[in-house]
Amino acid sequence: SQKIEQNSEALNIQEGKTATLTCNYTNYSPAYLQWYRQDPGRGPVFLLLIRENEKEKRKERLKVTFDTTLKQSLFHITASQPADSATYLCVGAGSYQLTFGKGTKLSVIP
Closest contact distance (angstroms) between CB of 62 and another protein is 15
Q: Which residues pair with 89 in a beta bridge?
A: 36
Q: Between 4 and 43, how does the x/- string for binding to another protein read (CB under 8 A)?
A: x--------------------------x--x-x----xxx
Q: Name which of residues 62 to 81 contact another protein (CB under 8 A).
A: none
Residue 100 CB contacts under 8 Å (≥ 6 apart), including other chains: 4, 89, 90, 91
- Helix, strand or coil for residue 98? coil
Q: Which of 44, 63, 73, 104 binds another protein (CB under 8 A)?
A: 44
